[in-house]
Amino acid sequence: MDVIHLSAECYPVAKVGGLGDVVGALPKYLNQAGINASVVLPYYDRKFVQENTFDTVFKSSTTAAGKTFNYSVLKESTRQLGFDLFLIYIEGLLDRKEIYCYPDEIKQFISYQVCVLDWINKTKMKPDVIHCHDHHSGLVPFLIANSSLFKDLAMIPTVCTIHNGQYQGWLGWDKVAYLPSIDLSKAGLLDWNNCINSLAASVKCCWKFTTVSPNYLKELSVNSNGLEKLFQLEARKGIGIINGIDTQVWDPETDPMIVKNFNAKTADQGKKENKKSLCKEFGLSDTKPLVVFIGRLVGEKGAELLPLAIDSCLKKYKGKVNFIVLGSGEPEIEKELEELKLRHKKQCGVYIGYDEELSHRIYASADFLMMPSRVEPCGLNQLYAVRYGTMPVVHRTGGLADTVIDMDDSGGYGITFNKLEAEELVNAVGRGLEVYKDQNKMSDLRKKMMSLDFSWGRSAKEYIELYKNLIISHAV
């Protein structure tokens, strides 16, 4: 079975958040299970691309976003990621460093999607499924079904996975001419609230859509940044499949980025040594419980609560806890965190920026990881934390509710709280500090967390089942 994944991110080529992790891992696990899954990304002028070799496998020209242009398809030559990786290159448009936030982003992603379809069409490739991730490839299911250019592809089943329904790829109706040769009588499929909405079009036109946790699927019908009604209407097409993690990349026993490798048996000592080194780097004492946050500093992650909650913890649990925050995002939150660091130099370390290696060292060193997310479609941080024996402290929402069981409940290993308020987070951290006093209990909880299996193995099977059902339904 041939499955083509379309995405803006894929670790280690291009990652901003969890989308990159998922698209870098799921196709690898699908290949291990016998599915020929490949990934097609826009070309990025980034480290991975600069340092590896690519063969040009196709060259052509097409028209999109109001322009006719040449494009090339490059293929990574060694298959080192465990799947075939293709990049769409367009000089001056898809040859840049950053993944998002260019003023002509609309042109970039429309051109990317049209090139992918043009390439599949002209080479007469016959993928069994095209799997689109988030809104950046959300117009593909519409184009396949409603552009005369791609009528030969119309019977290819499409799957759309929603990693984040907050961002929807909106464009004004004046941009409809950017889409080549479409049947304008079907333009209503592109519309949501009087603008072209790429994610809504994807949900309407795909054969099936998935969300990255079952709970998030339920939440979208009541909270999805304006698309609630759509998710209610299309509910029968939706399936919630929880993300997995790449246990080959995220393995404390072999992770080359951490100071001391460890497993469930050696976790107590191993984590201590990692913590010692990390705390030294941040100028903190290593004898106290270490509570951390890693992530985008935005409202979705509840990051605006951090400055107040950390400040309150440092007062309420004076001398009994240290914090480290790694992240970047809204300037106001960044500023408040920097000020917090200055006020509590010896208790709070803050690194504003993105640092993959540092994130691994933090997961390996920390005792507790906070996730006060307001919206969390799945969340991977809590899964990495658990794998590295770090107890997650989470707001019970989205995928966090599906993956973290409170330590007071049967089979539990984490700390959950229900109300998204700084005080609730402070109390949740307090529960962590209480259990930390009993090092035997802490050690048992660590072992329990590290024995859990959140690997992609299980979830990849659910995607395979979905693909098979689509292919069967299409054959009938």
- CB distance 181 to 40 below 8 Å: no
> What part of residues 410-439 is at the interface with ligand ADP (CB under 6 A)?
none
Binding flag, residue 213, ligand ADP (CB under 6 A): no
Strand order of the β-sheet with 191-192 is 170-171, 195-197, 191-192
Instruction: In angstroms, give the least distance from the CB of 434 to ligand GLC.
Output: 29
> What part of residues 349-368 is at the interface with ligand ADP (CB under 6 A)?
354-356, 359
Beta-sheet strands, E only, within 277-420:
290-297, 322-329, 348-352, 368-371, 391-395, 415-417
Q: Which helix or strand (DSSP H or E) is residue 192 part of?
A: strand 191-192
Instruction: In angstroms, give the least distance from the CB of 467 to ligand ADP.
Output: 23
Q: Which stretch binds ligand ADP (CB under 6 A): 148-156, 175-183, 278-286, 322-330?
A: 322-330
- State how far the alpha carbon of 414 is from the alpha carbons of 152, 213, 268, 369, 379, in Å: 51, 18, 17, 10, 14
Q: For 14, which DSSP code?
A: B
Tokens representing 164? 């984040």
- CB distance 388 to 275 below 8 Å: no
Binding flag, residue 223, ligand ADP (CB under 6 A): no
Query: How far apart are alpha carbons 456 and 462 in whole angstroms?
Result: 10
Judged by beta carbon distances under 5 to 8 A according to partner kind, the member of ligand ADP, ligand GLC, none in contact with residue 327 is ligand ADP
- State how far the alpha carbon of 417 is from the alpha carbons of 146, 220, 294, in Å: 46, 21, 18
Tokens representing 362? 């933090």
Binding flag, residue 295, ligand ADP (CB under 6 A): yes
Report the residue number whose CB is nearest to ligand GLC: 18
Instruction: In angstroms, give the least distance from the CB of 374 to ligand GLC.
Output: 11
Binding site for ligand GLC (CB under 6 A): 17-19, 22, 163-164, 212, 243, 376-380, 399
Binding flag, residue 330, ligand ADP (CB under 6 A): no
Closer to ligand ADP by Cβ: residue 180 or 252:
252
> What part of residues 246-285 is at the interface with ligand ADP (CB under 6 A)?
none
Closer to ligand ADP by Cβ: residue 141 or 379:
379
Q: What b/e string do you get for 375-400 counting C-beta neighbours within 10 Å, with b at 16 or more? A: bbbbbbbbbbbbbbbbbbbbbbbbbb
Binding flag, residue 238, ligand ADP (CB under 6 A): no
> What part of residues 372-391 is at the interface with ligand ADP (CB under 6 A)?
378-381
Shortest CA distance to 275 belongs to which of 206, 366, 346, 190? 366
Closer to ligand ADP by Cβ: residue 165 or 270:
165
Closer to ligand GLC by Cβ: residue 21 or 336:
21
Binding flag, residue 328, ligand ADP (CB under 6 A): yes
Instruction: In angstroms, give the least distance from the CB of 262 to ligand GLC.
Output: 25
